[in-house]
Amino acid sequence: MSEDRKDATGRDDRPWGHRWGFADTRLVVNEDRSVTMTGSRYPLSGYRMHDFLPYVEGVLGIRIETADRKQEIVPKPVPGPRRNDPFCRAVAERFRPDQFTFDDESRLLHSHGQTTSEEVYPVLYTRLERVADMVFYCESEEDAGGIIDLAVEHGVCLVPFGGGTSVSCALQLPSGEIRMIVSVDMRRMNRIEWIDADDMRASVQAGITGRELEEALEKEGLTSGHEPDSIEFSTLGGWIATNASGMKKNRYGNIEQLVENVTMMTPKGVMEQIRPVARASVGMQPMSLVFGSEGNLGLITKALIKVYRLPEVKRYGSLVFPDFDKGVGFLHKLAHSGFVPASIRLVDNTQFLFGQALKPRSAGFKAALDKLKKFYLLKLKGFDPARMTAATIVMEGSRHEVDFQVKSIYALAREFDGLAAGAENGRRGYMLTYAIAYIRDFLADYHVIGETFETSVPWSRINRVCEAVERRLKEQHGQFGLPGRPYLSYRITQVYHTGVCIYFMFGLYGKGVESPDKVFSRIEHSLREAIIQSGGSISHHHGVGKIRRDFMEDTLSPLSIELLKEVKRYNDPQNTFGVRNNVFFNQDRKGG
């Protein structure tokens, strides 16, 4: 980790190196086997979670021995850089010394994303197959054009790097790449160039993180409204490159609705719309190729985005339903109403119980009140703890608008036997998403490998897809003879007119298993296959990268795939941007 860096509240803003998150935040086991999240950033921080380990042990059917902690490899093995000497000399002549490095730790940090079994597990416990040879820090569009020109001239491979939060192996470096690989870190291009408060748009450099963007906009009374789970670390350029979605897309739109123009530097020149407007019929739009480009075409340097006034009112809420089907019925009707909130997410029973296990134990008056609520819910209303589900809600807008949503949403919920569960539960449930990756890294130290994946599904196939994934996971767990039981939970995170996004979490216990990361990867691939076969999509917002590229032929027609490859061949004939994501996994050096 880098030098000490504190924010205005005294919190440590250094990142956790190869793991997820901030250096001041991690989960630790106490002497009484309770678990505490350190720091003060999240609602889970600072108290003892007595039910956390018992929950994990119960669902996985295993016993976690705190003395049996898996040890990281320290120091981590890093092969020496492959140097293209003429290129290295040209870089040294053209750029400042602090704009590039061959440092082992920096190169390793820029050689992976956050995909559990394929990237995080190997870098922590075994080794990565391929590591970047140089890290270059881009500070301007002139720098971007310059490094591309030098890479083309000297036959070097460039890989764009933003927040490093990819969970699709998009940042995994091709093991067979024999050229020098340069990771181009864009995060020094992190400024808002200008804001037009009349037209409600801003020109923003692509290396800005979501956290930096929102903090800067908030000072002007504005917001972008884009709030992915990774907002603290992911960048604007990364959102565009993966075609991202945020938790508040109902109000502000997905990234493709938020962006009016993108500037991308490529080996053939600049790709952008010269005079962007709110909407224009200009024929086929090349800019659409940038969304989901995943580093294959060039360096995204800036974007023109919409901005919004900060909402007058922001209110959390929550609901409980007797079962998942009742909750889905509610969401279906809500999605076709005129009062969809900024965010609404429905969790299944397994994830609902997980959320309960992360709560502190109450005492005194609160304990008595909680007992009374439980009596009302389970005894008087007849809810079954083994079937009930919950929804978290975020409502934003004018006071009148939010008041209307509150009244309408809770009235609609009653039609499906839903009961209000309070604003605090809604806030905790919404914020819990920021802690999931910390929990993943904590459990990995105790031989539990976990991952998330998502899909878009028509309303009519929600149950079919969920049941197919559950069935396939049980089959795979048995076929590999893994210990304990598999873990699977899911939630609906976004609703649309014709369908939803389902977000899965699954985990396996790998103690005593040979190459558990490889087994996990094979099972995950099989689960994605089950999703495709049952009517789900390849991805909703994580992207394709390398982990889902085998399913592109189930997604695009042969002509569509060839058209994309032809664009790549023209734009990047030497395959300078040779990260080989998506349909370009077999692209050779000449772009063939």
Among the residues of 298-378, which ranges form H helices? 324-335, 349-357, 364-375
Q: Which pairs with CB-CB distance under 8 Å and at least 24 residues apart come from 279-288? A: 287/261, 287/262, 288/256
- End-to-end Cα spacing for the chain: 40
Measure CA 178 to chain center.
30
Beta bridge partners of 35: 29, 49
Query: How far is the CA of 164 from the CAs of 19, 532, 575, in angstroms?
Result: 10, 27, 22
The number of beta carbons lying within 10 Å of the beta carbon of residue 73 is 12
Give strand pairing partners of 198.
none
Cis peptide before 385 (omega within 30 of 0): no
d(CA 325, CA 336): 17
Which residue matches tokens 């049952």?
Answer: 534
Strands (E) across 128-229 are located at 134-137, 157-161, 181-185, 192-196, 201-205, 222-223
Sign of the alpha-carbon torsion through 161, 164, 169, 174? positive
Where helices occur in 271-363 by DSSP H, the ranges are 324-335, 349-357
Q: Which tokens is 171 given?
A: 């940042």
* Selection from 381, 286, 243, 347 nearest residue 571 by Cα: 286
Structural tokens at position 172? 């995994």
| Phi, psi (degrees; rounded to nearest 5) at 552 | -65, -35
Using alpha carbons, list the distances in angstroms from residue 88 to 146, 180, 267, 452, 483. Answer: 13, 10, 19, 39, 50
490 is catalytic: no
- Helix 141-154 vs helix 85-94: crossing angle, to nearest 10: 160
Q: Give all strands of the β-sheet with 134-137 in edge-to-edge order.
A: 100-101, 134-137, 181-185, 157-161
**Which candidate in 316, 430, 490, 503 is catalytic?**
503
Q: Are 308 and 199 in contact (CB under 8 A)?
A: no
> What contacts 151, CB < 8 A, 6 or more positions away?
87, 157, 158, 182, 576
Active site residues: 503
